[in-house]
Structure 1
Amino acid sequence: MSITEERRTEIRANGITYQIVVATRTDVDRAEPTPRVMITLEAGGPGGEPVAEGSLDLDAELADAVADLVADGLLSATGTGRAPRRRSAGRPAQQGRPWNEEMDAELESRWIAGESVAEIAAHFERTPGGIRARLPRVGCDPENPGCYLPVPPSRRTDLDEGEPS
């Protein structure tokens, strides 16, 4: 089974229509699920004739480096001289990167041990908002430090209620 997230963009510039699709995929059937990124580009001229097409399939860990290389290569080939977009100096290094099971387990144990959101964010090199958003996915209550989320009423058993069985 694969989990896929896809983003599509269409841009028109100088009479050419560019269609870019970026898909992230994790094959959860594998022993070690490795996130992948597939980038597909198609471009058509004013009459719809194809002027460019291609795709890249790479490990998600390489996406930032490949994006910089492609941007640098295109800029030098076209001579436009514009500087490529870079991460802002204040942006955490791991922001937006996928989580894995080991990271989730460590996030859970740090939260239950009483670490603050700021401490955890610094450790994982992520934003505090990213940590708060991830906590419920590992069963932790982001509103109550050191606590798990309660079991929803629809999934409670007699043991959860504290009643003898």
Structure 2
Amino acid sequence: MAFTLEYTSTARNITYTLTVNADTEGALAIDLTGEDESGTRVAEGTLTLPPGGATESARLLHQSLTAIAGFETRRPRRSTVGNANQRWTPDEDTALREAWLSHPPTDSATEVIRSLATTHQRSPAAIRARLPRLTCDPDVSGRLLTETTATLVGRDAIPAVDDT
């Protein structure tokens, strides 16, 4: 039995048309086209299947296209800030420590960290992680770590800082 089916769908300003033609023997010719708003063809392809080949081919196409679609729907990578993944220099460490200690404990640690992240072109997570290494308490702005809190964050990870 011969027949023709046509399906149309529009996504992201491209109209896709899928046309399926079956001949009297059961062989299928599948044509896919895609046109943008100006009528320019941006996608096209033809698939010819023997009689009885539609089921397995449909399964394979479905699996393949589902996997490919997963790449399209992933969130784009976040843009990195200027100094991301760069080593901290001694001067940057000194500037960060001094800036942290210049804030009173009444300032929101989260807001101070965000501000320092912008100033130092680092992420807030990078600033928060660096503060204990500079003997600064990341939970209270303007405060140094006490012996107790230094033990909790790992005293061995904290280099001695000269306060003179």
User: After TM superposition, is the score higher than 0.5?
Assistant: no
Name the one with the larger strand percent.
Answer: 1
Question: Rg larger in 1 or in 2?
Answer: 2
Name the one with the larger helix percent.
Answer: 2
TM-score, reference length from structure 1: 0.40
